[in-house]
Chains A and B, each alone.
Chain A
Amino acid sequence: MSASLLANRYVIKVFPVVFVALIFIAWELLVWLTGIKSVILPPPSAVIYDLVTKFPLIWPHAVQTLYTTMVGFLGAIVVGVLLGALIGSSRLAYEAFYPVLIGFSSIPKVAVVPIFVLWFGVGTIPAILTSLVISFFPIVVNVATGLATTEPELEDVLRALGAKKRDILLKVGLPRAMPYFFASLKISVTLAFVGTVLSETVAANKGIGNVMMVASANYQTALAFGALLLLAIMGVILYGVFALLETRFAGWSQRKADLALQSH
């Protein structure tokens, strides 16, 4: 890649779009050239056609999935920040909770869906909970790590001034953890989608996950792919939203990236 091409801001902005287009073209060509049956791998043209023509049918399900994901994700933020702040600021809490958290995060979340269904029945609540439990862990780890980056000298300065642990946490620790927090949000929001759809495919009668189950059961492969595509689009949009929030609230940590870009 030539430096002059990268230096052009517009080229950088257009690049992702071009890349996606290239993938679609390659996919279309693959289907054409190999003659794979549409029921096994539909060409992207058919997928997009299905997505557009059946949009009124899919849309309520997309809204349902989005709603479930956001509620689960909000829960994950609350749980993640509280646990992360606790673990990051207390040695005792770290020793006590960390092994349990690691153990919990190692459990495949598909295994807990039946338990949620057992407790709350088929529907939205198991999906919200799955979305929550699958996405809170990166937030915990990052908030705890961010708190741990406070320089010991700065802590000494503040303690010598009579700052309480709470002062240091609120005035220094949490602001310092913000870049880590937002980095984890970008990962977690995509995980939250995974959790929702996982639960919807197992036990729900609404949502994108359910659409995919029904579509594949009826050999409507193009529709299943269309639902996948819609999920991907929603994921990218949410990622973008949190990337914007990151620039807004933790922009001070990003100037190095800007400088690096300019110096090329």
Chain B
Amino acid sequence: MDTTVDSGNAAATSGTTTVYPFIRFDDVSLRYGGPGGTLAVEGATIDIPKGGFVSIVGPSGCGKSTLLKMVSGLIAPTSGRVVVGGKPVTGPLGFVGMAFQNPTPLPWYSVIDNVMLPLRIVEPYRSTFRARYDEYRAKAEALLEMVGLRGFGEKKPWQLSGGMLQRASLCRALIHEPALLLLDEPFGALDAFTREELWQVLQELWLARRPTVMLITHDLAESVLLSETVFVMSARPGRLLHSEAVPFARPRGLDVMYEPEFVSMVHRLRTRIGNARADGMKGA
């Protein structure tokens, strides 16, 4: 990621060269299943600065997850382009950390071995995995401690609760210190208390390491609590309707959620989504 050109929020033109933000969606559309297929995303233009934390919210099926897959290079846009670190994305980026609603641990590995899985795949860790195993293991243990799983490394995944597995899944996404973290509704299947706790964990991890984070979520309060900017998408085909910077100071405790500005921002976003849904119904 040495080629990355740091910049402010938006792409700035300095002289003759365009300076890109860390991630740029440039009028991106995606149609599944060839011409005549489903248009999942239409004309999305999004800029995300390096080290930023953005949330993307919208009605279900609006192509939020599709955006993530395009950033990571798992699928290519039908038109427009995605630029990460100044280079157009043409295939899997090979360094991205990802976590989903389903924590998908490998059942034959212990928790710590699951956390270390990316190190068996990503260079330069891969070729030094055996030689520097102890060092990497200590790294994984430190991460587990950060998310409150100290002493659970030797357990097998089935011995952990859903919330604990999701913590481990976050560790797995972060172990190789990725510059980009993609989260697709990681807290969607958790109970309210575990979710609140993991919001704090994620915020701490982000403040400590400052990866660029894209969070997909249905939970508006979650998006406002965690991110710097919230993007609202329309119902299918997903278009970008609205974006709003979140003004609250870091670190944000759970108390901030009960402040009037917070509540009114969530309400504002909720209204946008409501409109998006109604539009979607009319279109259908």
Q: Which chain A residues have a beta carbon within 8 Å of chain B's beta carbons?
A: 151, 153-154, 156-163, 167, 171-172, 175-176, 178, 250, 252-253, 255
The residue among B96, B99, B121, B172 with the most chain A CB atoms within 10 A of its own CB is: B121
The one of B94, B97, B102, B173 that contacts A151, using a Cβ cutoff of 8 Å: B102
A161-B176, A171-B121 known, 9 other contacts, Cβ within 8 Å: A156-B100, A160-B72, A161-B97, A162-B92, A171-B117, A176-B106, A250-B108, A252-B107, A255-B158
Q: Which residue of A lies closest to B178 (CB)?
A: A161
Given contacts A153-B102, A160-B74, A162-B92, contact A252 B121 (CB under 8 A): no
Q: Are B104 and A161 in contact (CB under 8 A)?
A: no
Contact B100 A153 (CB under 8 A): yes
Q: Which residues of A contact B108 (CB under 8 A)?
A: 175, 178, 250, 252-253
Q: Is the CB of A162 within 8 A of B104?
A: no
| Min C-beta distance of B162 to chain A, whole Å | 15
Give 22 CB contacts A-B under 8 Å: A151-B102, A151-B104, A153-B102, A154-B106, A156-B72, A157-B99, A157-B173, A159-B72, A159-B74, A159-B92, A160-B73, A160-B74, A160-B94, A160-B182, A161-B97, A161-B121, A162-B92, A172-B106, A250-B108, A252-B107, A253-B107, A253-B108
Complex interface: chain B residues within 8 A of A178 (CB):
108
Interface centre among B73, B100, B172 (most CB of A within 10 A): B100
Known A156-B98, A160-B74: A252·B92 in contact at CB below 8 Å: no
- Nearest B residue to A172, CB-CB: B106
Query: What is the bound-complex CA distance between A154 and B98, given in angstroms?
Result: 9
Inter-chain contacts of A175 with B (CB < 8 A): 106, 108
Contacts A160-B72, A162-B95; A252 near B156 (Cβ below 8 A): yes
Using a CB-CB cutoff of 8 Å, which residues 69-107 of chain B contact chain A? Answer: 69, 72-74, 92-100, 102, 104, 106-107
B182: chain A residues at CB < 8 Å are 160
> Nearest residue in A to B180 (C-beta to C-beta)?
A160
Q: Is residue B63 contacting chain A, with contact meaning CB distance below 8 A?
A: no
Q: What separation, in Å, do the CA atoms of A161 and B176 have in the docked complex? A: 10
Give which listed residue, A151, A156, A167, A252, contacts B69 with CB less than 8 A. A156
Question: What A residues does B58 contact at CB under 8 A?
Answer: none
Give Cα distance in the complex from A156 to B95, angstroms. 12
Given contacts A167-B121, A175-B108, A252-B156, contact A157 B98 (CB under 8 A): yes
* B156-A160 in contact (CB<8A): no
Q: Answer whether residue B272 sits at the interface, using C-beta atoms and an 8 A cutoff.
A: no
**Contact, CB under 8 Å: B69 / A161:** no
The answer for the CA separation of A253 and B157 in the assembled complex, in Å, is: 12
Q: Complex Cα distance A158/B72, Å? A: 11
Interface residues of B (CB under 8 A from A): 69, 72-74, 92-100, 102, 104, 106-108, 117-118, 120-122, 156, 158, 172-173, 176, 182
Give, as a whole number of angstroms, the nearest-CB distance from B175 to chain A: 10
Contact among B104, B120, B158 for A153, CB-based, below 8 A: B104
When the two chains form the complex, which single residue of A157, A163, A252, A255 contacts B104, counting CB atoms closer than 8 Å? A157
Q: Once bound together, how far apart are the Cα atoms of A179 and B205, in whole Å? A: 37
A153 to B100, CA, bound (A): 7
Q: Which residues of B contact A153 (CB under 8 A)?
A: 100, 102, 104
Asked if A163 meets B156 with Cβ closer than 8 Å, knowing A153-B100, A156-B98, A253-B107, the reply is no
Most central of A156, A160, A175, A255 by chain B CB within 10 Å: A160
Q: Which 5 A-B pairs have the closest CB atoms?
A: A162-B94, A154-B104, A160-B72, A252-B108, A160-B96
A94 to B121, CA, bound (A): 27
Contact of B95 among A161, A171, A253, A255 (CB under 8 A): A161
Q: Tell me, rounded to whole Å, the shortest Cβ–Cβ distance linking B106 to chain A.
A: 7
User: When the two chains form their complex, are residues A162 and B74 in contact, meaning their CB atoms are under 8 A apart?
Assistant: no
A262 to chain B, nearest CB (A): 14
| Interface residue from A157, A161, A171 paired with B94 (Cβ < 8 Å) | A161
Quick one: given A151-B104, A156-B98, A172-B106, are A163 and B121 in contact (CB under 8 Å)? Answer: yes
Establish whether residues A160 and B121, one from each chain, have CB atoms under 8 Å apart when the complex forms: no
Residues in A neighbouring B120, C-beta threshold 8 A: 171
Q: Which of A156, A158, A253 has the most CB of B within 10 A?
A: A156
**CB-based contact A161/B96 at 8 Å:** yes
CA gap between A250 and B182 in the complex, in Å: 32
Please give the distance in Å from B121's CB to the nearest CB on chain A: 5
Interface centre among B69, B92, B182 (most CB of A within 10 A): B92
Contact of A162 (CB < 8 Å), options: B93, B99, B100, B107: B93
- What residues of chain B lie closer than 8 Å to A151, measured between beta carbons? 102, 104
Please give me the residue from chain B that is nearest to A176 by CB atom. B106
Contact A156 B74 (CB under 8 A): yes
A156 proximity list for chain B (CB < 8 A): 69, 72, 74, 98, 100
Residue of A154, A160, A172 touching B92 (CB-CB under 8 A)? A160
| Nearest opposing residue in chain A for B104, CB measure | A154
